[in-house]
Chains A and B, each alone.
Chain A
Amino acid sequence: MTAAMPIPIDRDEVLRLVADEAAQLVEVLPEAEYADEHIAGATSIPLEELNERAPRLLDRGRPVIVYCYDYQ
């Protein structure tokens, strides 16, 4: 089975999902970049570790929003 493709969303939808559905923000950049700056409240899970760490760190019952630096 393959994972579903993430659904692209904009900033307003991020704000709505966090406020209304307690969405979990996940920065998938390397940890050094997360340490430098990250969206307040986000969790760091570098992309290459996502499959291994996500099940342990994230709540399956809440939406997950992944992000990078910009449109990359």
Chain B
Amino acid sequence: VYDYVAGKADWGSLGLPLEGHAGTETRAGAHLRTDVPTCRFDECLEGVRHRVEEAGWDTCFVVDEGGVVIGRLGRSALRDDPSPGVEEAMTPAPSTVRPSARLEAMVARMRDRDLTNLPVTTPDGRLRGLLTRGDAERALARGRSN
């Protein structure tokens, strides 16, 4: 007999599948945009700006070689920051949530803080994707109507 000592809290925090009334579908991790662009801190801002724009995004996450989020380029940095490099333009250490975060709480958080999205990472900071307020609100509404 084995004991998974970190338990289902650890399992859910990685976005691994949960079942039950509050299963995976009620969690942030099931509703992510996983195609959100990423870049490295030592890239040229202009190049990243073009890449992000071509992909149809207005934000980009700065990650290290292990995929850990170290910063974010927001709309204004991508639009008109005069810095030559990503490192100078990025907002370091953005606030993130885990894939197991409950959708209802995440929608409330985005409404309260007037946010349009939340980056979702594993507990060790690896980017899983972006939870947009629109996606989260629609998923919550679907869940309530079922």
| B2 in contact with A17 (CB, 8 Å) | yes
14 A-B pairs whose Cβ atoms sit less than 8 Å apart in the complex: A7-B2, A7-B3, A9-B4, A25-B4, A37-B22, A38-B20, A39-B17, A40-B17, A65-B4, A66-B3, A66-B4, A67-B3, A69-B9, A70-B8
CB atoms of B6 and A70 under 8 A apart:
yes
Complex CA gap A42/B11 in Å reads: 12
Number of residue pairs A-B, CB distance < 8 angstroms: 95
Q: B53 within 8 Å of A by Cβ?
A: no
The minimal Cβ–Cβ distance linking B49 to chain A, given in whole angstroms, is 38
Assembly CA distance A67 to B10 (angstroms): 11
Closest partner residue, chain A, to B9 (CB atom): A70
CA gap between A2 and B132 in the complex, in Å: 53
Q: Which of A3, A23, A39 contacts B11 (CB 8 A)?
A: A39
A1 at interface, CB cutoff 8 A: no
Q: How many residues of A contact B (CB 8 A)?
A: 33
Q: Considering only CB atoms, which chain B residue lies closest to A58 in the complex?
A: B1
Do B7 and A69 have beta carbons less than 8 Å apart? yes
Asked if A70 contacts B7 (CB within 8 A), the reply is: yes
Known A4-B1, A7-B1, A17-B2: A67·B8 in contact at CB below 8 Å: yes
Interface pair B6/A37, CB less than 8 Å apart: no
Flag if A71 contacts B6 (CB, 8 Å). yes
Q: Is B23 an interface residue (CB 8 A)?
A: yes
| Residue of A13, A34, A38, A64 with most partner-chain B CB within 10 A | A38
Name the distance in Å between B69's Cβ and chain A's nearest Cβ: 21
Asked if residues B7 and A37 are in contact (CB atoms below 8 Å), the reply is no
Complex-state Cα separation, A10 to B20, whole angstroms:
23
- Contact present for A9 and B20 (CB under 8 Å): no
Complex Cα spacing A9 to B18, Å: 19
The interface bits of chain B over 49-75 (1 if a CB of A lies within 8 angstroms of the residue's CB, else 0) are 000000000000000000000000000
B2's contact among A9, A35, A69, by CB below 8 Å, is which? A9
Nearest chain-B residue to A27 (Cβ)? B8
Known contacts A67-B7, A69-B9, A37 near B2 by CB under 8 Å: no
